[in-house]
Amino acid sequence: MNNIVVLELGIFAGSMYDVPNWQSYKTFDEAIEKFQNLHPNIRIKYRSGTLKNDYSEWLAQKIINGDEPDVFCVLPGDFNTFASIGIMKNLDELIKRDKSFNINRMYLNAIKFGQFQGVQYAIPKELDPQLMFVNKTLLKKEGIQVPKGNWTWEDFYNICRKITKDTDGDGKIDQFGSVGFNWKIAVYTNGEQFFDQSGKKAMFDSKGVIEAVKFVKALNDLNQNFKVNLEDFDNGRVAFRPFSFSAYKAYKTYPYRIIKYAQFDWECIKLPRGPNGRNASELNAMLFGISSRTKHTKEAWEFLKFITYNDEIQMDVLRYSHGIPVLRDVTESKKAEEELLKYNPEEEISVDTKVLSDVVEQSVVPPRFHKYDEAVEIADREIYQIIKGDKEVEDTLIKLNSELNDFLNQ
């Protein structure tokens, strides 16, 4: 009995992606059982029930008390802080030494998602890329074809222009092109970043970012100051909305399809690309890391490897969760295709395994540095003024860039 190692796992109840999930523990409970059968000397325990909203605070308290879990889920908003204070173990050496772990089976972007300043601190268990929701009923009514996967900003803008109109003749626009296509998505779909990898240099004065902000402003100008919201979208008056794969998976099939967007036909396609970009935006992921203070590094690594690298556990991501496996060959397998077919058995499949792999690979992983969130907030405030029409695009972005450079180098 003395040889038994007990590992604590840090997870929360419910969905990583804020979509309905009534049995989020199922995938972990099954993984733990399989892992314990393979490693009879290791026991995994976890505190059940913590809500996602409370999870960061719970974990911070555990860190303060010095009893954080050996392996824990790291929410994207916490990753930079945790990495910068050294509470997560540097995994580079463990990965290098483990001959049974070939990191190249994972999507390159999945690997990047767990890196901070070039060091691997965490590994995703699953991924969630952005797609574009299309209201097919609205497009059909206007005689417009659903765009194909490789579409551009120009195609997107032209459709939005045609769609935006006053349909009841009361002098007010009541039908709109898009909602939620913000400046960040525009920058990413234009193949740009707004900070460099070191987090010391802002790039808001680059041609690609200026182009992206101008595009979002042009899209917004179509609405003539009317603020389109999600209620308009839910009521079928908006053609496009950036939409996560997880939401697609949750709401495309019964039973949840009766609750959301049931009043019209819809589908998801890739996002439109800018002149220099690709058809994908920011990637989201469920990350796991190991405490730098664990007394059981070897066992913790075995478990982390098991949930992120075991074929069956990765297939369970498609069966029980709303994400995509991080192993490319699992996502592109026949079994995965069968799982996805459940989501659209009667219609032509727009989101197949090939599309998913493309979108994950073309997605963007923003640079990781400690001041990232604050810097984005500053940019958000200023760009909001530009889009509203209160400030000129180019000069404001150049000035913003200079302010952000000062902030980043303070």
Site size toward other proteins (CB under 8 A) is: 30
User: Is residue 256 at the binding interface for other proteins, with CB under 8 A as the rule?
Assistant: yes
Q: Which is nearer to other proteins, 49 or 389 (CB)?
A: 49
Of 6, 48, 166, 329, which one interacts with other proteins (CB under 8 A)?
48
Q: Which is nearer to other proteins, 84 or 152 (CB)?
A: 84
Q: How far is the CB of 49 from other proteins (least distance, A)?
A: 3
Of 5, 13, 218, 393, which one interacts with other proteins (CB under 8 A)?
13
Of 9, 10, 11, 14, which one interacts with other proteins (CB under 8 A)?
14
CB 383 within 8 A of CB 376: no
Of 6, 38, 54, 394, which one interacts with other proteins (CB under 8 A)?
54
Phi, psi of 367 (to 5 degrees): -60, 150
The 17-46 contact track toward other proteins, x by CB under 8 A, reads ---xxxxxx---------------------
Segment 74-103, which members bind other proteins (CB under 8 A)? Answer: 81, 84-87
The window from 12-20, 34-42, 313-321, 392-400 that contacts other proteins (CB under 8 A) reads 12-20
Of 258, 334, 345, 377, which one interacts with other proteins (CB under 8 A)?
258
Q: Give the Cα-Cα-Cα angle 117, 96, 98 (nearest 5 degrees).
A: 135
In one-letter notation, the amino acid at residue 343 is Y
Q: How far is the CB of 4 from other proteins (least distance, A)?
A: 19
Query: What number of other Cβ atoms are within 10 A of residue 409's Cβ?
Result: 11
Residue ranges of E strands in 106-170: 115-116, 119-120, 122-128, 130-135
Cα distance between residue 120 and residue 103, in whole Å: 11
Of 5, 63, 103, 376, which one interacts with other proteins (CB under 8 A)?
63
The 126-165 contact track toward other proteins, x by CB under 8 A, reads ----------------------------------------
Q: How far is the CB of 234 from other proteins (least distance, A)?
A: 10
- The length of the chain in residues reads 410
CB 353 within 8 A of CB 332: yes
The single residue listed with the structure tokens 């173990």 is 89
Of 33, 38, 49, 298, which one interacts with other proteins (CB under 8 A)?
49
In one-letter notation, the amino acid at residue 265 is D
| Buried-state track 216-237, b at ≥16 Cβ within 10 A, e below 16 | bbebbebbeeeebeeebbeebb
Cα distance between residue 321 and residue 260, in whole Å: 19
User: Is residue 224 at the binding interface for other proteins, with CB under 8 A as the rule?
Assistant: no
Segment 259-278, which members bind other proteins (CB under 8 A)? Answer: 259, 262-263
Q: Which of 44, 46, 41 lies closest to 58 in space, CA to CA?
A: 46
Q: Which of 263, 269, 265, 241 lies closest to 137 in space, CA to CA?
A: 265
The window from 47-55, 271-279, 318-326, 329-337 that contacts other proteins (CB under 8 A) reads 47-55
The window from 14-22, 146-154, 270-278, 310-318 that contacts other proteins (CB under 8 A) reads 14-22
CA dihedral angle for residue 280, residue 282, residue 286, residue 289, rounded to 10 degrees: 120
Quote the tokens at residue 104: 């190249």
Q: Which of 245, 328, 341, 330 lies closest to 285 in space, CA to CA?
A: 245
User: Is residue 248 at the binding interface for other proteins, with CB under 8 A as the rule?
Assistant: no
Q: How far is the CB of 63 from other proteins (least distance, A)?
A: 7
Q: Which is nearer to other proteins, 52 or 399 (CB)?
A: 52
Q: How far is the CB of 29 from other proteins (least distance, A)?
A: 9
The window from 174-182, 224-232, 256-264, 324-332 that contacts other proteins (CB under 8 A) reads 256-264
Sign of the alpha-carbon dihedral angle for 387, 388, 389, 395: negative
Q: How far is the CB of 93 from other proteins (least distance, A)?
A: 16
Cα distance between residue 233 and residue 178, in whole Å: 8
DSSP states of 245-261: HHHHHHHSSTTGGGTSS
In one-letter notation, the amino acid at residue 9 is L
**Residues that bind other proteins in the complex, under the rule CB under 8 A:** 13-14, 20-25, 47-51, 54, 60, 63-64, 81, 84-87, 254-259, 262-263
